[in-house]
Amino acid sequence: MSNQSIADAIAAAQQAAANSVPANVPASMGSTAVGAPVAAGAPLGLDDMMAGGVSVDHWLKLTADGIKIGDKTKPLDTIEVYLDMSEIAYNFSVKYNVNGTAVYHKTYDRVTDAQGGPWIATMQKAQSIDPKAYEYRSAEIPFVLAADVESKTKGELAAAAGDRLGLTLSTTGWKKFQDFVRDLARKGIDAKSASVKFTLGYETKQKAGVNDWGVPTFLKVEEVDVVPVLGTVH
């Protein structure tokens, strides 16, 4: 066989191998041929590993009647809290209904769904199920409780001073939070890194055809040097 024939045969074999790789599999994964090594990605740093989500002891629920610490309290009018603004986990979320049950997804980078897979695929799925589904701004906010809160069970605490309480902003909760951030700016407080103390409250919202609901309010805001470490034992 001539050198040209050999070269043609190799080229044909390489093309056949390439054609056998599924379209959704990278060529580097679909062939055993030795080629240029795949370049390693940049090493992950602390910021990468800490991004997305917050760590809390209890999640808050906002209702038309008030604020609840999980299912441990009756609706409360207000809670005194601290907040390190740099710990807020901002995200975009989408909500849709499946057989009457609300389904939520979120992304911290607008590329990947926090539950896995491309965010664009999540949005396409949500809108195929519910054409009215849309992407909305949200945040997971980690408060530090300033004082003990009693449980609805007499003699027990629902949460102790120093516990971390998480609140996820709903579709209508962002506006009040945005007003809070703008108020910080007017007071010369850095909304990205400041530590603040305030009263977390609620406001009842109403709309024809749906049940009443609650949104957060941020009252009596003052800047503090740091969020204090209170005497919580876990």
pLDDT tens per residue across span 195-219:
999 999 999 999 999 999 999 999 9
CA-closest candidate to residue 200, choices 106, 97, 61? 61
Cα-flanking dihedrals φ and ψ of residue 161, to 5°? -55, 130
β strands within the chain, DSSP E: 58-63, 66-69, 79-84, 89-98, 101-107, 135-145, 149-150, 157-159, 164-168, 195-205, 213-224
Q: Which two tokens stand for residue 110?
A: 């607008």
Q: Is the pLDDT of residue 130 over 90?
A: yes
Q: Is the pLDDT of residue 37 over 70?
A: no
Give the pLDDT band (50/70/90) at residue 167.
Answer: very high
pLDDT of amino acid 178: 97
How many Cα atoms within 13 Å fall on the side-chain side of residue 165? 27
pLDDT of amino acid 18: 41
Give the pLDDT band (50/70/90) at residue 50.
Answer: low
Cα-flanking dihedrals φ and ψ of residue 57, to 5°? -90, -35
Coil, helix or strand at residue 137: strand
How many Cα atoms within 13 Å fall on the side-chain side of residue 234? 9
pLDDT of amino acid 231: 67
Give the pLDDT band (50/70/90) at residue 190.
Answer: very high
| pLDDT single digits (tens) 175-189 | 999 999 999 999 999
pLDDT of amino acid 40: 63
**Mean pLDDT along residues 161-182:** 97
Please tell me the distance from the alpha carbon of residue 192 to that of residue 218, in angstroms, as a whole number: 16
